[in-house]
Amino acid sequence: MVLVTGAGAGIGAALAVAAAEAGAAAVVAVDVDGPAAEATAAQVRDAGVAAVAAHTDVTDAAAVRSLVTAARAQHGPLGAVFSNAGAAVGMGLHAPGALWDKAWAVNVRAHVTLAQAALPVMARDGGGHLMITASAAGLLGLPGDAPYAVTKAAAVALAEWLARDAAPHGIRVSALCPLGVRTGLLMPAVEAGHPAGLAVAGMGPILDPAEVAAAALAGLAEDRFLVLPHPEVGPLYAAKAADPEAWLATDPAAARR
């Protein structure tokens, strides 16, 4: 069984459909937007795979625990969990505290909570795969959105920590780190000329969610930790690691050009 959070649209919806097309026995599509989750579940069922929608707020730890328990009871072992919910802010250091709190709650704590609920279940069942949707912003930074860049870096660090800790239990952990993706999270910022949106668009092509989902499933099949749907990200990340001072003095979009 495959469980996907943030499955109501964008990358999450594409992951749910791609998992079904790849042979998942069942899919649980989770989103805070119940009708959107049901629309994704309907797409999965149209592909001939059993699917249910779960209207769940991933920042609610008790609700997430209940979700995992019910999903395991109804649909069998958790073969793969895609912890995919995310939130952008679009502001710098002085974003209001409530927006910083939201970024931490969705982009970090929700992954922690889902891992706390799912990994023990997966370990008892003999293993599985957890993929955290972080972002290339978590590797490279992102001008114009401090809460997003900081919390996505924390999501990558969390995935790395979990990868070591869960491996002895037969659980593989990956970090999915795309650049620009054609979703409601990015495109309004690009169209408005927001610095964060323009920075992302300048660093690589904007992919469709289905392309990111295909890369995610390929990374899962190849047992890779760092899954980079945009090949541009690897060299940029290596350049940053090799010379952080030069990186900070350079526009990464200009460096790519």
pLDDT at residue 183, as a whole number: 85
Residues in the chain: 257
Query: Running along the chain, 257 residues long, what does each successive block of 10 average in pLDDT?
Result: 97 97 96 98 96 97 97 96 94 96 98 98 97 96 93 98 97 96 82 84 90 97 97 94 91 56
> Which pLDDT score is estimated for 200?
83
Number of domains in the chain: 1
CATH of the domain at 190: 3.40.50.720
* Active-site choice (64, 148, 158, 216): 148
- Boundaries of domain holding 57: 2-256
**Residue 199 has what pLDDT?**
83
In whole angstroms, give the CA distance from residue 156 to residue 135. 8
pLDDT recorded at residue 257:
44
| 196 three-state secondary structure | helix
Q: 128-164 burial, b for 16+ CB within 10 Å, e for fewer?
A: bbbbbbbbbbbbbbbbbbbbbbbbbbbbbebbeebbe
Cα–Cα nearest to 27, from 14, 35, 17, 36: 17
Q: Catalytic residue at 237?
A: no
| CA distance to 32, 49, 122, per residue, from 86 (Å) | 11, 26, 23
pLDDT, tens only, 94-125: 999 999 999 999 999 999 999 999 999 999 99
The model's pTM: 0.94
The pLDDT score that the predictor gives to residue 192 is 84
End-to-end CA distance of the chain: 42
